Amino acid sequence: MTDAERSHSWKMVVELIRQLRGQHARSNEGRHPMLCKNSGPTDPSVPSRPVTAPVMLTSKETARRLNLSESWLAKRRLAGDGPPYIKLGGAVRYVETSLQQWVKAQQRISTSAS
């Protein structure tokens, strides 16, 4: 194959790729936006929300924030009446928002109320 033939072949390959990319973009027009990689919001009146991972705290961080001991948290996990937690493999994590909700639920007005 000569250099001229090789150059012509590459030009054909590049043109074919461009055509396929154009067809791919057109083929996604009727698909659901969540199924398309580079699709934006379809309805401009709906604000897009950034996806954020929840803030997770270790037992040590949680104990420090609640001014409690790590052993108290461990005992409450065992008893099932402490703050909600997540177990990822062997690691215990507390989701910050769940922890805040649990603290609010612990609020009492009277010592006689349970």
Asked whether 81 and 90 are in contact (CB, 8 A), the reply is: no
Same domain, 30 and 60: no
Count the domains in the chain: 2
- As a residue count, the chain comes to 114
Say which residue, 13 or 70, is predicted with more confidence. Answer: 70
Average of pLDDT values for 68-78?
96
* 30 shares its domain with 61: no
Query: Where in the sequence is the domain holding 71, given as residue range(s)?
Result: 56-105
d(CA 76, CA 105): 15
Instruction: Give the tens place of pLDDT for each residue, 37-48.
Output: 554 555 666 667
Are residues 31 and 60 part of one domain?
A: no
Residue type for position 89: G
Residues 6+ apart with CB under 8 A from 73: 59, 62, 63, 66, 82, 83
- What CA dihedral angle connects 65, 71, 73 and 76, to 10 degrees? -160
Residue 86 placed within a domain: yes
pLDDT at 90 over 80: yes
Q: Which residue has the tokens 């805040």?
A: 100
62 and 99, same domain (yes or no): yes
At 9-38, the pLDDT tens digits run 777 777 777 777 776 555 555 555 555 555
> What pLDDT sits at residue 20?
73
What is the residue-averaged pLDDT of the chain? 80
- Longest C-alpha distance within the chain, in Å? 96
Query: Could you tell me the pTM of the whole model?
Result: 0.55
Which residues, 6 or more positions from 99, have their beta carbon under 8 angstroms from its beta carbon?
57, 62, 65, 66, 83, 84
Q: Does 66 lie in the same domain as 97?
A: yes
More confident residue, 75 or 4: 75
The answer to whether residue 40 is domain-embedded is no
